[in-house]
Amino acid sequence: MQSNDDVQETHEVSCRKSHHPEKIKKDLTTRLNRVEGQIRGIKGMIEKDVYCDDIITQLSATQSALNSVAKILLEGHLKGCVVDRLNEGDDEVLDELIVTIQKLMKK
């Protein structure tokens, strides 16, 4: 969970916008809808006292699905936003990218 400072920092940084093709947006939305359904399923499993190992298996599948979304976004970020900013002479994007990758890796 992000702290209020992290959310504020993220909001300030994210004033820039990405430009994902509609096909990618649709794919990401579909994947996230699936994750949302998986989360609801996991909550139901907990309420029904399903065996812990089965819940953990579903949690692992959900985390994998989220990682797939992150990989797609990271690829688009690298090929689009990062390249564009480097071409504009904005080398700070590399420091930003390092922080982003560190956030992904600590999960």
Contacts of 78 (CB under 8 A, 6+ apart): 97
The full set of domain ranges for the chain reads 20-105
Consecutive H or E run containing 48: none
Give yes or no for residue 18 having a pLDDT over 80.
no
Q: Is the domain 20-105 a CATH 3.40.50.2300 member?
A: no
Read off the pLDDT of residues 24-56 as tens digits, 9 standing for 90 and up.
999 999 999 999 999 999 999 999 999 999 999
Return the H-helix or E-strand segment holding 33.
helix 22-47
Q: What is the pTM of this model?
A: 0.77
